[in-house]
Structure 1
């Protein structure tokens, strides 16, 4: 059943991301990816709030189904940057500063390289 909650949340998050991107393009124009920036910032804030919600005794206020729906589903569909940000912050909070820095450098560098490689492969196929 958890997979169903993730799927429902993912669908909702993806639709919300698309709506934000369309609205930003309409309001602010195409000169800068404002929609993506907005989605990444709000998604990162939201995952921080939801991940930190705990009762005084340390028990999570959100059950496993709600966490699957909201954190993995909605926010995962809305922006994976929020997950990356939370995981990097958790590494830093655990004192693993080298691992946190490596995660940032590797994620940004390798993802940019992946996009470049994808363009290169598709360009060679599409000639």
Structure 2
């Protein structure tokens, strides 16, 4: 049953990612792919909250499996972020590529740590 829930949560996460990326792309056209950065950072924050809840508040492990692996796995998109960075680099926008890669990395790690901290306070 857990496997089915992971698949369903992954599908919901992928649809959510598509919706967020489409909505942001329609509103703001920028060199740096901010929608992808925001998706990865918000997904990292959610994963941090889940990890903190499971580790510190005895939340069911299944939450982390279903929501963390399923939803967050479908929602976040490391591969897309790297492809976008390579495309930026190939088009001569090395600075934007660096901002995208480094910004995503730093912000995602900080967001995950922030999520764990939020779970600890809750």
Name the TM tier (shorter chain).
0.5 to 0.7
Relative to the length of structure 1, the TM-score reads 0.56
2:50 aligns to what? 50
Relative to the length of structure 2, the TM-score reads 0.58
Q: Report the structure number with the largest CA radius of gyration.
A: 1
Aligned length: 82
Q: What root-mean-square deviation, in Å, do the aligned CA atoms of Structure 1 and Structure 2 show?
A: 2.4
Runs of 4+ in 1 over 3 A off after TM superposition: none
2:111 aligns to what? none
After superposition, where does 1:1-127 map in structure 2 within 5 Å? 1-54=1-54, 58=56, 60-61=58-59, 63-79=60-76, 81=78
- Unaligned 5+ residue runs, structure 2? 88-122
* Highest RCO, 1 vs 2 (Cα 8 Å, sep ≥ 6): 2
CA distance in structure 2 between the partners assigned to 1:33 and 1:40 by the alignment: 11
- Unaligned 5+ residue runs, structure 1? 82-110, 117-127
